[in-house]
């Protein structure tokens, strides 16, 4: 690669003015520097780019061919410099975000879409996996930031508390237990349970907790997907226990009902995780503060992010605060 950007710039100036001297003035160089740069280019490209008509330099076919490319390339580099070097300017960048399954499927899509709506030049790549995988990829540096349930294992990672998730026991609204007020664990003895299969963190926590109260606790049906479980519960096949984040929309619409049982009020902390030694770019800092804002709002208003619409409401609020 022998051509330089400088040469392309000089070429543009000459092509556009048609004169070496005026081009030199335009880009604050001496006439001699411009002349030499052009002949160097013609050397590199193995042939002339201009027809010399007396004192004028007029593009020949090769020069005409080069012109649009030179323009495009120079413009592109200028744009990039502007975008990346302006610290106060518009936010740009490619952020790699990871989230565990529940967060990744039920929360992050809204967060990501709201954030990119505010910062259209930002591209966010959302990776969904289990908490272990996400943590590992954050540690490796593949991901800039991760959102997980549960604990952090690596000592290279720092975490901060994000939203609090609640495990809800859900039932079809026509279910007999929904009619009763003041439920207790003992009302659940004869219930049929529909749960995620072995390996789900949510299911495990719930089984451990309820086993303390109900000795012969047994799962009636195991399903592989959260959505399938909700459908089964809606259909009245039994009860289940799922993250509030995954069921709040159905609850709002009255398709499912939550059974409040004092002994089984299980909450768990969602965490934001980042490598300790990670240098926070503007973009990353901004994204974190955006997430923290969402956290504050959710805590204050007990709102659950059931729709992009709700998040947008929060955002307007955010805008006001910024202004």
* Cα–Cα separations (whole angstroms), residue 147 to 116, 210, 295: 18, 27, 13
Residues 57/20, Cβ–Cβ less than 8 Å:
yes
Q: Which two tokens stand for residue 12?
A: 């543009």
d(CA 98, CA 149) in angstroms, rounded, equals 12
- CB of 148: closest distance to a copy of itself in angstroms? 20
Q: What is the rounded distance in angstroms from the CA atom of residue 201 to the CA atom of residue 19?
A: 73
Nearest to 312 by CA among 17, 303, 128: 303
Shortest reach from residue 277's CB to DNA, in Å: 8
Minimal distance, residue 42 CB to a copy of itself, in Å: 10
32 binds DNA (CB under 7 A): yes
∠ CA 200-202-207 to the nearest 5 degrees? 95
Name the residue nearer to a copy of itself (CB basis): 44 or 300.
44
Nearest approach in angstroms of CB 48 to DNA is: 9
DSSP output for 100-149:
EHHHHHHTHHHHHHHHHHH-TTEEEEEEEE-HHHHHHHHHHTS-SEEEEE
Instruction: Choose, by CB under 8 A, the member of 36, 45, 178, 221 that binds a copy of itself.
Output: 45
Q: For DNA, how many residues bind (rule: CB under 7 A)?
A: 26
Shorter beta-carbon distance to DNA: residue 48 or 109: 48
Helix (H) or strand (E) holding 57: strand 56-59
Pick 47 or 236: Cβ nearer a copy of itself = 47
In the region spanning residues 33 to 92, those forming contacts with DNA, defined by CB under 7 A, are 33, 35-40, 52-57
Q: Running DSSP on this structure, what letter comes out for residue 270?
A: E
Task: Tell me if 281 contacts a copy of itself by CB under 8 A.
Answer: yes
Q: Is 6 in the site for DNA (CB under 7 A)?
A: yes
Residues in touch with a copy of itself (CB under 8 A): 1-6, 8-9, 44-48, 51, 53, 56, 58, 60-62, 64-66, 69, 72-74, 76-78, 80-81, 83-87, 92-96, 123, 141-142, 144, 275, 277-279, 281-284
- Chain residues in the site for DNA (CB under 7 A): 4, 6-7, 10, 19-22, 28-33, 35-40, 52-57
């Amino acid at each position: 690669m022998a051509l330089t950007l400088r040469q392309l710039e000089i070429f543009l100036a000459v092509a556009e003015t048609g004169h070496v001297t005026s081009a030199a003035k335009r880009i604050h160089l001496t006439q001699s520097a411009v002349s030499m740069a052009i002949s160097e280019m013609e050397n590199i490209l193995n042939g002339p780019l201009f027809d010399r008509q007396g004192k004028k330099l007029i593009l020949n076919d090769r020069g005409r061919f080069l012109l649009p490319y030179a323009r495009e390339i120079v413009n592109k580099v200028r744009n990039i410099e502007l975008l990346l070097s302006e610290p106060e300017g518009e936010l740009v960048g490619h952020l790699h975000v990871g989230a565990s399954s529940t967060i990744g499927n039920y929360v992050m899509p809204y967060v990501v879409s709201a954030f990119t709506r505010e910062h259209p030049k930002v591209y966010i790549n959302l990776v969904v996996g289990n908490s272990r995988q996400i943590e590992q990829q954050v540690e490796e540096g593949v991901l800039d930031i991760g959102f997980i349930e549960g604990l952090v294992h690596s000592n290279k990672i720092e975490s901060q508390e994000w939203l609090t998730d609640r495990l809800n026991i859900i039932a079809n609204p026509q279910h007999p237990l929904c009619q009763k007020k003041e439920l207790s664990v003992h009302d659940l003895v004869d219930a049929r349970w529909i749960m995620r299969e072995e390996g789900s963190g949510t299911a495990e926590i719930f089984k451990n907790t309820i086993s303390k109260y109900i000795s012969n606790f047994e799962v009636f049906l195991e399903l592989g997907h959260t959505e399938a479980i909700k459908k089964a519960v809606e259909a009245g096949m039994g009860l289940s226990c799922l993250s509030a984040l995954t069921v709040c929309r159905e609850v709002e619409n009255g398709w499912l009902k939550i059974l409040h049982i004092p002994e089984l009020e299980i909450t768990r902390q969602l965490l934001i995780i980042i490598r300790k030694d990670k240098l926070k770019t503007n973009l990353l800092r901004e994204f974190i503060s955006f997430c923290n804002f969402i956290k504050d709002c959710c805590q204050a208003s007990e709102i659950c992010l059931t729709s992009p619409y709700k998040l947008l409401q929060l955002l307007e609020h955010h805008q006001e605060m910024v202004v």
